[in-house]
Amino acid sequence: MCSSAKSVGSLVHVFCVNYMSNHLLSLWDFDKQQLYSYIRRALQLKREAREGIRHHQLDGKVIGLIFEKPSTRTRVSFESAMYGLGGQVIYLSGRDTQLARNEPLKDMARVMARYVNAMVVRTFGQEVVEELGRYSTVPVINALTDLFHPCQVLSDIMTVEEVKGEIGKLKIAWVGDGNNMANTWIQAASRLGFELKLACPQGYDPDPGILAAAVKEAVKPITLLRDPVEAVRDVDVINCDVWASMGQEHEQNERVAVFQPYQVNRELLAAAKLSATVLHCLPAHRGEEITDDVLEGAQCCAFDQAENKMHIHKAILEIHILAEG
Ligand code: CP
Ligand code: NVA
């Protein structure tokens, strides 16, 4: 999909030939080297934040956050990231825009691009961010759709690399729903070359097209299982998420019954490596997909993941906005 590369300082980024700007719509828009450029830059920005170094590279730039679903972490970390680089933010909830009154996405994209230097969008359909991307002359960043959550998985991978080292040498498990996070981890496994074992109940599998394409490209196994104990056996990282994602609240009760064997608790953790790290992108439903003691335990990195969202969002904004000149 993407072809021509442009240098941004020491960072290399790619423009997608289908688009008039460089968007972040899915991890598959990027190769391994590009995915690592976000992570390396985020780690550097994190160190510099700790040292009190102030940044101004996005002085005079403005981003628009268009969020049609609720958010604590993604919204605040994008806002904090943008202010931390010297820029400004305009936040629009689903109710605030004319999208709520069916203004065409192609009009919204072209209008917003006249006002802001990038759009960060949280919505339902992946086709919404893709349609915005087709018409926008400024970067469109996917801040979660029903299909993908690419910025989250970048910060999760950054966290894994900090805690456990190179992800390509690790075995990772996904336990629970085959949702937007699972789909994105599958993409990451194929692009970054790590082993991924998923355990999902029947009827709640990840997107079959994404899984098939990833398995074809992958250099290490990506396996879909039913048994959570088998999935976590010998893994370095156990990953989980809510059983009912945003927009599926009406399925909550039936999902709680189906997903019970997929709870990440002490017993399940015992089947993984003793040193295994637990990831949860948050928000968590304690007592459902994860027990309170595991979430609060020393093996769980959920709050580091949450912090790293801000550093990775700084890297994303810097790379994509500066690439536009
Ligand atoms: N992890 C995550 O995306 O959290 P929010 O829904 O609070 O943004
Ligand atoms: N799968 C969850 C992720 C929340 C960050 C959802 O889409 O609601």
Q: Identify the residue with better confidence: 7 or 109.
A: 109
Amino acid, single-letter form, for residue 108: M
Q: Determine the pLDDT at residue 18.
A: 64
What's the mean pLDDT in 83-89?
Answer: 98
Classify residue 69 by its DSSP letter.
Answer: S
Q: Which ligand is nearest to the CA of 79?
A: 1
Query: Which residues, 6 or more positions from 133, have their beta carbon under 8 angstroms from its beta carbon?
Result: 19, 21, 23, 25, 109, 140
* Number of the ligand 1 atom closest to the C-alpha atom of 77: 8
Contacts with 138 (C-beta within 8 Å, 6 or more apart), sequence order: 21, 112, 113, 116, 117, 118, 119, 324
Average pLDDT over residues 250-254: 97
Residue nearest to atom 3 of ligand 2 (CA): 245
The atom of ligand 2 lying closest to the CA of 71 is 5
Residue appearing with tokens 């960072």:
11
Cα 73 to averaged position of ligand 1 atoms, centre (Å): 5
pLDDT digits (tens, 9 = 90+) for 52-69: 999 999 999 999 999 999
What pLDDT is attached to residue 101?
87
The mean pLDDT of 23-36, rounded to a whole number, is 96
CB 139, CB 320: distance < 8 Å: yes
Region 253-282: what's the mean pLDDT?
97
What value does the mean pLDDT take over residues 4-28? 62
pLDDT average, residue stretch 93-116: 94
pLDDT computed for residue 11 by the predictor: 41
* Domains with residue ranges and CATH for the chain: 3-149+307-323 (3.40.50.1370), 154-303 (3.40.50.1370)
What pLDDT, on a 0 to 100 scale, did the predictor assign at position 325? 81
Nearest to 151 by CA among 208, 90, 206, 75: 75
Residue 3: pLDDT band with limits 50, 70, 90: very low
Candidates 142, 309, 313: which one to mutate for ligand 1, based on the most atoms within 8 Å of Cβ? 309
Say if ligand 1 is within 6 A of residue 183 CB: no
- Amino acid 232: pLDDT: 98
Pairing state between β 277-280 and 237-240: parallel
> Once rounded to an integer, what is the mean pLDDT over residues 170-180?
98
Rounded to the nearest whole angstrom, what is the distance from the C-alpha of residue 295 to the centroid of ligand 1? 16
**Cα–Cα distance for residue pair 94/158, rounded to 1 Å:** 30
Query: Can you give the pLDDT at residue 100?
Result: 85
Over residues 208-229, the mean pLDDT reads 98
Tell me which of 16-25, 98-107, 209-218, 252-261 is least confident.
Answer: 16-25
**pLDDT band for position 77 (cuts 50, 70, 90):** very high
The residues, any chain, with a CB within 8 Å of residue 263's CB and separated by 6 or more, are: 288, 289, 290, 291
Closest ligand, as measured to the CA of 156: 1
Predicted local confidence at residue 81, as pLDDT = 98
The CA distance from 79 to 268, in Å, is 37
Q: What is the CA 240 to chain-centroid distance, rounded?
A: 13
Phi, then psi, of 113 in degrees rounded to 5? -65, -20
Alpha-carbon distance 278 to 294, whole Å? 8
What is the structure's pLDDT at 35? 97
